Chains A and B, each alone.
Chain A
Amino acid sequence: MTDIPKGPVTGMPKGPGLPGSADAPRDPGLSGIADAVVAPTRRRSFQLVWVIPIVAVLVGGWLAVKSVLDKGPTITITFKTAEGLEAGKTKIKYKNIDIGEVTSIGFTQDLSHVVVTAELKKGAEPHLVEDVRFWIVKPRITGGQVSGIGTLFSGSYIEFDRGKSTTRRKDFEGVEVAPIVTGDVQGRQFVIQGKDLGSHDPGTPVFFRRIQVGKVATSELNQDGTGVTIKIFVESPYDKFVNPNTRFWDVGGIDITADSAGVKINTESLLSIMLGGIAFGTPADSPDAQPAEENTVFSLFADRALAMKRPDREVVPFSVVFMESLRGLSAGAPVEFQGIPLGEVKSISAEYDMEGGVFRFPIELVLYPDRVAKMFKPGAKRARDAGLTMPQIFDHLIERGLRARLKTGNLLTGQMFVALEMVPDADKAKADWTKTPPELPTTPGGLQQLQHVLASFAKKLDTMPVDKIGLELRQALQSMNKMLQSTDLLVRRLDNELAPKARETLEESRKAMQAAERTLAADAPLQQDAREALRQLGRASQSLRLLADYIERHPEALIQGKKSGRQ
């Protein structure tokens, strides 16, 4: 049977003498076997089954190419510790979107740090610049906010923050503490120099008109230890309110000041009471200015009042010497000129005057004459304009009675201040310009003056010859007593000798008065006669007037006499 197909058979066996051919002798045992039906079908020249491996190769190849193309840059990040990191699991995120994954974690050569190797997604290269930051996100609870709580369950991840540089790099140093301000927040950073940190830890708020507009980004001690440098970040659009004239001040906690002006309690907000903070503002009268450049350096004032104080351009130091108690006076106390704050007390010292045997308390003041100068109305006459120098002006004023004097500003707290006042009847005094700083004459304060007056009165009282006065007074009283006795005698004699006669005289005079009364009564003859006489006199004067009239009209009658029938 050589006609059996050899090798691989992919179809029906073919060849001459094929057993299945119609002309082959039929096996009698297989007579019932049905004949196959010939039905021509279209033969495919190409076997469709090969599409499958082609598709598979295409898909596989595409996946392979894609994985190669999608392969992003590999970077290394150095951290102090790999706490919470896991190779193959820990993600690198930006704005909470995965941008990569930690592939391995190892040590640096000296075992001081861990090196995290991570593979980032494709397209990350352009963002891998010098100042990008990586930090491990952990749960963080600060006074103002809570963050990273999600990592309690999901495990830590590495957060990425973009940078602004253009220099690319692949190896980075991780930031240990999550930065407060990330690169995607618009705004500007400013540098503030303060005396101490106070409560300005990173993350504490920055206020402008009591609106939180930014945060403290970093705070660190100066290299030389003389202060702290606080970097704050003011978010856009508020950053434009910071200009070179802007002042920054501390608003941490509650600011209670009790001075000669009274008690003041100041606070920015509830948040700042707990957290502290920095506020800024621009004095209203400062000239308009362009917004400050990034990283402009400002200084930090202790409070708003200090920050907003006008800058005093002209500073004149003086000293005054008081002999009285300085209780209630402290450095920083105001110096007022007729109630206008003109300066402040710089320091207080004490010295002992050997000759006089008294303590003297020289006090150094600084005066800002500008403050008074600013209050002059424009066009008002000013001594300065007349070409007078500062000593001349002061000499002039002192001649007119300008004196320094301690005054109580606040009865409640007993705070004192130094008042410069015009004392009209002051003793002659002069400023001592030879000293540095020059010394101004003083006059005792109100209470002190009263004490002086009382003391001098008491002294005078003391020198009075009270004994002698008493003796003389007694003598005087004795003589006066005698005098009174003699007066008494005299009175008695008068009583005895003069009184009866006086009574008679009085009787006589009463009679005279009665007679006069009778004479002057209404029905007295004298009265009636007088009335009649007066009547006669009236008639006579009437006739005389008629005559005068007639003569006036007929003056000729004087010569010719009265003509009858003519009136």
Chain B
Amino acid sequence: MTIMTAADAGLMVCHACGLLSRPAAAAHDLTCARCGTGLHGRKQDSISRCWAFLIAAYVLYVPANVLPVMETGSLFGSQRDTIMSGVVYLWTSGSWPLALIIFIASIMVPGAKLLALTVLLISVQRRPAWRPHDLGKLYRIVELVGRWSMVDIYVAAILAALVQFQALATIKAGPGAVAFGAVVVLTMFAAESFDPRLIWDPVKEERESDD
């Protein structure tokens, strides 16, 4: 079975309004006839952008986990907690489910996302058409799970806004929260800038070469 793609037909889809266009002969600097958005056969600089976001996310992943995300100050002293120390505290105090949720949402998922995106990028660049179905599934998971990593940030942000009783108790977002938020946003950008069609482009080629 042959799958006909727009690229096969020599057409392009506008990323903004979805209008299918026929590229002009010049083949450079095309814009959508309807909305004026630049036209590209595939997402522009998809892989290099993705790498850029991914590297930035990797870099910030370290401070996100090392620096405190929340600074709790109260009458009885002050405390600075990193994500991991919070998980450890919950675990040792017996709240295993909560500890697990936070560990998965805040440490495992962002880490896994970074790894998944890395795998996607490398496999697209180095090993064309390597297990495209699995890669496609991976991409879907990355897309889906992206925003849920922000749970920690939400908690910190809400507490910081609510708990402000000056001397009695204050909660401030620590520098780790910024880094953590940046990691999540950057991975979302990276996932966004990755063009999943790149997974499939070589597949057709192979399939056709099989013919």
Chain A residues close to B by CB (< 8 Å) = 1, 4-14, 18-24, 27, 30, 33-41, 47, 49-50, 52-53, 55-57, 59-60, 63-64, 67, 89, 91, 153-155
Q: How far is the CB of A67 from chain B (nearest CB, A)?
A: 8
With the chains together, A213 CA to B62 CA distance in Å?
Answer: 55
A41 pairs with B41, CB closer than 8 A? no
Q: Is B67 an interface residue (CB 8 A)?
A: yes
3 smallest CB-CB distances across A and B, nearest first, come from: A19-B10, A22-B25, A20-B23
Q: List 28 A-B contacts (CB under 8 A).
A: A1-B208, A4-B8, A5-B201, A8-B47, A9-B41, A10-B48, A11-B40, A12-B12, A12-B30, A19-B10, A20-B23, A20-B27, A21-B10, A23-B25, A34-B20, A35-B24, A37-B36, A38-B31, A39-B30, A40-B29, A49-B53, A53-B59, A55-B56, A56-B182, A59-B59, A59-B60, A60-B59, A155-B77
With the chains together, A351 CA to B179 CA distance in Å?
Answer: 99
* Beyond known contacts A8-B198, A9-B41: 8 more, CB 8 A cutoff: A4-B208, A13-B41, A21-B27, A27-B9, A38-B24, A38-B26, A38-B28, A47-B52
Give every chain B residue within 8 A of A27 (Cβ-Cβ).
9
A20 pairs with B56, CB closer than 8 A? no
- If A12-B30, A52-B52 touch, whether A5 touches B7 (CB-CB below 8 Å) is yes
Give every chain A residue within 8 A of B76 (Cβ-Cβ).
153-155
Q: Is the interface of A mostly helix, strand, loop or mixed?
A: loop
B23 pairs with A41, CB closer than 8 A? no
Give every chain A residue within 8 A of B131 (Cβ-Cβ).
none
B52 pairs with A49, CB closer than 8 A? yes
A7 pairs with B33, CB closer than 8 A? no
B48 pairs with A12, CB closer than 8 A? no
**Residues in B64-110 with C-beta less than 8 Å from chain A:** 66-67, 75-77, 79
Q: How far is the CB of B135 from chain A (nearest CB, A)?
A: 14
B55 pairs with A56, CB closer than 8 A? yes
With the chains together, A272 CA to B207 CA distance in Å?
Answer: 102
Q: How far is the CB of B173 from chain A (nearest CB, A)?
A: 16
Q: Is B160 an interface residue (CB 8 A)?
A: no
With the chains together, A482 CA to B1 CA distance in Å?
Answer: 194
With the chains together, A33 CA to B36 CA distance in Å?
Answer: 16
Chain B residues close to A by CB (< 8 Å) = 7-12, 19-34, 36, 38-42, 44-49, 51-53, 55-57, 59-60, 62-63, 66-67, 75-77, 79, 124-125, 128, 175, 179, 182, 186, 193, 198, 201-202, 204-205, 208
A56 pairs with B60, CB closer than 8 A? yes
Give every chain A residue within 8 A of B208 (Cβ-Cβ).
1, 4
Give every chain B residue within 8 A of A12 (Cβ-Cβ).
12, 23, 27-28, 30, 39-42
With the chains together, A52 CA to B23 CA distance in Å?
Answer: 32
Q: How far is the CB of A23 from chain B (nearest CB, A)?
A: 6
B22 pairs with A53, CB closer than 8 A? no
A153 pairs with B75, CB closer than 8 A? yes
Give every chain A residue within 8 A of B55 (Cβ-Cβ).
53, 56-57
Give every chain B residue within 8 A of A49 (Cβ-Cβ).
45, 48-49, 52-53, 193
With the chains together, A87 CA to B190 CA distance in Å?
Answer: 40
Q: Is the interface of B mostly helix, strand, loop or mixed?
A: mixed
With the chains together, A395 CA to B118 CA distance in Å?
Answer: 119
Give every chain A residue within 8 A of B25 (Cβ-Cβ).
21-23
With the chains together, A13 CA to B204 CA distance in Å?
Answer: 15
A35 pairs with B46, CB closer than 8 A? no
B22 pairs with A34, CB closer than 8 A? yes
With the chains together, A50 CA to B75 CA distance in Å?
Answer: 45
Give every chain A residue within 8 A of B44 (Cβ-Cβ).
10-11
Best-buried of A7, A23, A33 by chain B (most CB within 10 Å):
A33
Question: A52: which of B26, B27, B53, B128 is its contact (CB, 8 Å)?
Answer: B53
Q: How far is the CB of A137 from chain B (nearest CB, A)?
A: 12
With the chains together, A53 CA to B193 CA distance in Å?
Answer: 15
Question: A1: which of B8, B29, B51 is its contact (CB, 8 Å)?
Answer: B8
Give every chain A residue within 8 A of B28 (Cβ-Cβ).
12, 38, 40
With the chains together, A154 CA to B169 CA distance in Å?
Answer: 13
- If A4-B204, A60-B60 touch, whether A50 touches B52 (CB-CB below 8 Å) is yes
With the chains together, A9 CA to B30 CA distance in Å?
Answer: 16
B125 pairs with A8, CB closer than 8 A? yes
Question: A47: which of B40, B48, B198 is its contact (CB, 8 Å)?
Answer: B48
Give every chain A residue within 8 A of B57 (Cβ-Cβ).
56
Give every chain A residue within 8 A of B75 (Cβ-Cβ).
153-154
Nearest A residue to B38 via CB reads A41
Give every chain A residue within 8 A of B52 (Cβ-Cβ).
47, 49-50, 52-53
A20 pairs with B40, CB closer than 8 A? no
Nearest B residue to A58 via CB reads B59
With the chains together, A41 CA to B198 CA distance in Å?
Answer: 25
- If A33-B21, A155-B76 touch, whether A38 touches B30 (CB-CB below 8 Å) is yes
Give every chain B residue within 8 A of A59 (Cβ-Cβ).
59-60, 63, 179
Q: How far is the CB of B36 from chain A (nearest CB, A)?
A: 8
Give every chain B residue within 8 A of A33 (Cβ-Cβ).
11, 20-22
A24 pairs with B10, CB closer than 8 A? yes
With the chains together, A89 CA to B81 CA distance in Å?
Answer: 11
With the chains together, A30 CA to B51 CA distance in Å?
Answer: 36
- If A11-B41, A63-B67 touch, whether A37 touches B31 (CB-CB below 8 Å) is yes
Give every chain B residue within 8 A of A4 (Cβ-Cβ).
7-8, 201, 204-205, 208
Give every chain B residue within 8 A of A64 (Cβ-Cβ).
62
With the chains together, A14 CA to B202 CA distance in Å?
Answer: 16
A20 pairs with B67, CB closer than 8 A? no
Q: How far is the CB of A90 from chain B (nearest CB, A)?
A: 10
Nearest B residue to A25 via CB reads B10
Q: How far is the CB of B91 from chain A (nearest CB, A)?
A: 15
A36 pairs with B48, CB closer than 8 A? no
B60 pairs with A6, CB closer than 8 A? no
Give every chain A residue within 8 A of B63 (Cβ-Cβ).
59-60, 63
Give every chain B residue within 8 A of A8 (Cβ-Cβ).
47, 124-125, 198
Best-buried of B19, B63, B204 by chain A (most CB within 10 Å):
B63
Give every chain B residue within 8 A of A91 (Cβ-Cβ).
77
Q: How far is the CB of B20 from chain A (nearest CB, A)?
A: 5
A6 pairs with B205, CB closer than 8 A? yes
With the chains together, A536 CA to B193 CA distance in Å?
Answer: 188
